[in-house]
Amino acid sequence: MTVRITGISKGAGMIRPNMATMLGFLATDAAIDPALMAQLARELADGSFNRITIDGDTSTNDSFVVIATHQAGNPPVKALDSADGQALKAAMLSVARQLAQAIVRDGEGATKFITVQVDGGQSADECRQVAYAIAHSPLVKTAFFASDPNLGRILAAVGYAGIQDLDQTRIELHLDDVHVATRGGRHPDYREEDGQRVMQQAEITVRVHLGRGSASDTVWTCDLSHDYVSINADYRS
């Protein structure tokens, strides 16, 4: 049995969960019990559109619509935790993430796509809290634009994220494959040119390990450029 999934999204700036200035539409021809659609939409949003930010700002207008036309001819999915339900949700989540990440890639003035992955937390919530602290920091975002491997800015954002009992001596930091900080300080084998090489890439992954547990979460963001300032400074002129 083949089912089809498609979608479209719109967004450029003022993008920060809960969704913000964004339109997202995701459709499938699979048959799904209508009673599951609200839960499915929430779980898809939480794994995609509610994990992105351009500038940390939001607005009053957003929509995410999930549609199932029941035209594929499959037996209706009655539970999201069933084998068919899990397979369908995974496929729809993959498309939703592509759409959400496309909003980040097309962000106002964006020149780089950045994945912020935080592992080793006591809960997914605190991992997400740290990830957003990094993703929303103007100093971090401008460092990415300048291809400046400024470790202090990233570590500072981890520190002020709001985890009261954070032990900085357990923090590990990677830029892609480069281990830049260990036990809260500069890694003894880290070389500035290795960090520079990563920061010059169009796509960068920042990995933070908190050393507190087994939870993890991921946020997608972009850099902060001259064009972003120009676009928003001229918005009403």
Q: Active-site residues: which are they?
A: 21
Sign of the alpha-carbon dihedral angle for 184, 157, 174, 178: negative
Q: CA 119, CA 103: separation in Å to the nearest integer?
A: 24
Which residue is associated with the tokens 């963001």?
221
Q: Where do runs of H (alpha helix) occur along 27-72?
A: 37-46
From the list 141, 115, 112, 97, the residue with the least C-alpha distance to 207 is 115
Q: Token pair for residue 114?
A: 């950045």
Give the distance between the most distant pair of CA atoms in the chain: 60
- HEC-encoded secondary structure of 147-165: CCCCHHHHHHHHHCCCCCC
